[in-house]
């Protein structure tokens, strides 16, 4: 570790602070530019939505106007139907009254008919009695004729003395014959009366039956009229409700039409505001480009110095070749990945190469890089995790609780980043490679505090001979937060999955984040074995 109390160390420290300020500014600018691009996209989206809303609002306004007219027609129709329903109710009520009167009349007629039928039945009974009496008269006439005949015979026997008796007998016979004739005539009349009364009784019985049927029909008609009246009254009530609701709907529709017009006006105002914002954004983009150019110029001295600087091997020869020999000493690098398994092997190999070059390592392991995995990688260099921890060559800041408590292993659940960095600075005796883990930092202090801290946790610890490589997990670190680190980095290495392959990109020139080369990475087991094609 450099003697920071010497004048030379002081100048180097001041240079590091200047470089740090420029790098932070570039990182912050990258965040602003990323945010600006997002804002531009959102403005485009707002403009599209506003245009669509404007079109939809116009369509809705037309539909609401048409609906308003339709509602008014419905209101007028319901009023007319309501009047007709009231008329139908009155007619049905009149029908009910007429049916009741018909029922009452038919009841009276049935009563009279029943009384007449009873009188006829009594008449039939009297006729039957008269017929019985006539039968007795017939018998008496027959007997009288017989007596007159016998008297005539006896008068003839008596001779002259029986003439008077014979005359009486003839008179009796004449009377008997006259009585018989009268009885026969009465019997004929009685027969006619019986036939007439029988026919009248039959007709009256049929009439009573028909009256009963008519009464039943009238009762059924009354029930139907009651149902019709009730249905019409219900319909009338419903129509009144519909009419009231239609009137209310008409008022609501008119209010809605006014609101739609207001929305249309506001939509047009939003479109104008978006255009104003776009104009301001265009000017801001130009200004950001000027700032970016100024920072790029300010960083050229750092880039030139890093280009001539020693490098730390990544542990992979093929990757070192693509990075110009490895990671420049004193630089800030970023390893960006979208899966922890892809980062574990690269970080383990980087730790082994840094220790091999004589440096100390401050490591915040990504998830999955536990003691056993790192021990397997260091074993290829003839070292062990326990040995480099004891020799103050390795300092582990455990953010995910995957490392057991041990010397130089700091659990960030119980030890702050500042304190862990201070202990690391006090114990190390050589230049340091800091492998930070942004997801781990967010896990410990939260994104808000991590945004505020950024590189400040290393302030007072790092010198120009120290190198930083931050690991950024794109799944858990937001795009804007990650943009700060990639924007401030001198070297960005990205590893990601595509169609089942693990790919890796590196810049074609130091500090060039736009021109990149792509290579394929093969990982072998969990020992950190990797090859690059």
HEC string of 291-305? HHHHHHHHHHHHHHH
Task: Answer whether 358's CB lies under 8 Å from 316's CB.
Answer: no
Task: Answer whether 463's CB lies under 8 Å from 331's CB.
Answer: no
Structure confidence at residue 188 (pLDDT) = 82
Task: Answer whether 352's CB lies under 8 Å from 377's CB.
Answer: yes
Structure confidence at residue 454 (pLDDT) = 57
Q: How far apart are CA 342 and CA 354, in angstroms?
A: 19
Q: Which residues contact 409 (CB under 8 A, 6 or more apart)?
A: 389, 396, 398, 403
User: What crossing angle do the helices spanning 438-453 and 417-427 adopt, rounded to 10°?
Assistant: 100
Q: Which two tokens stand for residue 115?
A: 């009384």
Structure confidence at residue 220 (pLDDT) = 75
User: What crossing angle do the helices spanning 163-307 and 7-158 adopt, rounded to 10°?
Assistant: 170
Task: Answer whether 299's CB lies under 8 Å from 15's CB.
Answer: no
Task: Answer whether 51's CB lies under 8 Å from 271's CB.
Answer: yes
Torsion angles phi and psi, residue 339, rounded to 5: -155, 130
Residue 484 CA to its chain's centroid (Å) = 39
Q: Which residues are bridge partners to 507 per DSSP?
A: 516
Element holding 161 (H helix, E strand) = none
Q: Which residues contact 267 (CB under 8 A, 6 or more apart)?
A: 50, 53, 54, 57
If you compute the radius of gyration of the chain from its CA atoms, what whole number of angstroms results? 62
Q: Which residues are bridge partners to 469 per DSSP?
A: 333, 435
Task: Answer whether 355's CB lies under 8 Å from 388's CB.
Answer: yes
Task: Answer whether 59's CB lies under 8 Å from 237's CB.
Answer: no
Q: Which two tokens stand for residue 61?
A: 């306004």
Count CB-CB contacts under 10 A for residue 27: 22
Task: Answer whether 393's CB lies under 8 Å from 361's CB.
Answer: yes
Residues in the chain: 533
Q: How far apart are CA 433 and CA 329, in angstroms?
A: 9
Q: How far apart are CA 238 and CA 155, in angstroms?
A: 108
Structure confidence at residue 264 (pLDDT) = 67
Q: How far apart are CA 305 and CA 294, in angstroms?
A: 18
Q: How far apart are CA 137 and CA 140, in angstroms?
A: 5
216 in helix, strand or coil?
Answer: helix
Q: How far apart are CA 343 and CA 253, in angstroms?
A: 62
Q: Which residues are bridge partners to 406 per DSSP?
A: 409
Q: How far apart are CA 276 and CA 105, in angstroms?
A: 91
Structure confidence at residue 303 (pLDDT) = 72
Q: How far apart are CA 140 and CA 179, in angstroms?
A: 9
* Spans in the chain with pLDDT lower than 50: 1-15, 17, 457, 515, 525-528
Task: Answer whether 211's CB lies under 8 Å from 110's CB.
Answer: yes
Q: Where are the beta strands (DSSP E) in 347-490?
A: 360-363, 394-398, 409-411, 432-437, 467-473
Structure confidence at residue 360 (pLDDT) = 97
The 8 Å CB, 24+ separation contacts for 165-174 are 172/144, 172/147, 172/148, 173/144, 173/145, 173/148, 173/149
Task: Answer whether 392's CB lies under 8 Å from 428's CB.
Answer: yes
Q: Which residues are bridge partners to 467 per DSSP?
A: 433
Q: How far apart are CA 64 and CA 66, in angstroms?
A: 5
CA–CA distances in Å: residue 50 to residues 56, 270, 274, 282, 416? 9, 7, 9, 20, 49
Q: Which two tokens stand for residue 455?
A: 């590189």
Task: Answer whether 164's CB lies under 8 Å from 154's CB.
Answer: no
56 in helix, strand or coil?
Answer: helix
Q: How far apart are CA 238 and CA 295, in angstroms?
A: 78
Q: How far apart are CA 436 and CA 445, in angstroms?
A: 14
Element holding 23 (H helix, E strand) = helix 7-158
Task: Answer whether 464's CB lies under 8 Å from 15's CB.
Answer: yes
């Amino acid at each position: 570790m450099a003697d920071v109390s010497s004048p030379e160390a002081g100048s180097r420290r001041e240079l590091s602070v200047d470089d740090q300020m420029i790098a932070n500014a570039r990182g912050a600018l990258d965040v602003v530019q990323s945010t600006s691009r997002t804002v531009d996209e959102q403005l485009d989206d707002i403009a599209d939505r506003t245009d669509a809303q404007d079109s939809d609002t116009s369509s809705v306004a037309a539909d609401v106007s048409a609906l308003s007219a339709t509602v008014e027609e419905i209101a007028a129709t319901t009023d007319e139907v309501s009047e007709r329903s009231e008329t139908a109710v009155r007619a049905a009520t009149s029908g009910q009254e007429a049916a009741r009167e018909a029922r009452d009349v038919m009841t009276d007629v049935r009563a009279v008919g029943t009384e007449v039928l009873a009188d006829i039945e009594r008449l039939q009974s009297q006729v039957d009695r008269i017929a019985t009496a006539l039968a007795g008269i017939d018998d008496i006439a027959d007997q009288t004729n017989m007596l007159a005949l016998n008297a005539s015979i006896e008068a003839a026997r008596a001779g002259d003395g029986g003439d008077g008796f014979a005359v009486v007998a003839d008179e009796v016979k004449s009377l008997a014959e006259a009585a018989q004739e009268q009885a026969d005539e009465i019997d004929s009349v009685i027969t006619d009366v019986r036939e007439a009364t029988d026919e009248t009784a039959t007709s009256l019985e049929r009439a009573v039956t028909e009256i009963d049927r008519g009464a039943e029909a009238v009762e059924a008609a009354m029930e139907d009229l009651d149902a019709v009246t009730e249905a019409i009254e219900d319909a009338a009530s419903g129509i009144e409700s519909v009419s009231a609701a239609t009137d209310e709907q008409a008022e609501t529709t008119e209010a809605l039409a006014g609101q739609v017009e207001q929305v249309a006006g506001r939509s047009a105002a939003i479109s104008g505001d978006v255009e104003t914002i776009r104009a301001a954004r265009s000017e801001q983009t130009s200004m950001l480009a000027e700032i970016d150019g100024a920072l790029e110029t300010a960083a050229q001295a750092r880039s030139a110095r890093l280009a001539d600087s020693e490098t730390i091997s990544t542990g992979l020869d093929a990757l070192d070749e693509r990075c110009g020999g490895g990671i420049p000493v004193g630089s800030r690098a970023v390893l960006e990945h979208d899966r922890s398994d892809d980062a574990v092997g690269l970080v383990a190999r980087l730790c082994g190469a840094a220790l091999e070059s004589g440096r100390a390592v401050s490591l915040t392991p990504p998830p999955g890089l536990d003691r056993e995995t790192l021990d397997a990688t260091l074993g290829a260099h003839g070292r062990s995790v326990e040995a480099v921890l004891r020799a103050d060559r390795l300092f582990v800041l455990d953010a995910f609780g995957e490392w057991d408590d041990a010397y130089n292993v700091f659990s960030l659940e119980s030890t702050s980043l500042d304190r862990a960095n201070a202990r690391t600075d006090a114990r190390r005796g050589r230049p340091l490679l800091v492998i930070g883990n942004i997801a781990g930092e967010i896990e410990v202090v939260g994104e808000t505090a991590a945004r505020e801290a950024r590189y400040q946790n290393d302030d007072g610890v790092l010198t120009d001979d120290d190198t930083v490589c931050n690991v950024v997990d794109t799944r858990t670190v937001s795009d804007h937060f990650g943009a700060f680190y990639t924007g401030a980095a001198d070297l960005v290495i990205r590893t990601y999955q595509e169609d089942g392959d693990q790919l890796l990109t590196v810049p074609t020139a130091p500090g060039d984040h736009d021109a990149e080369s792509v290579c394929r990475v093969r990982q072998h087991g969990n020992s950190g074995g990797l090859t690059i094609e």
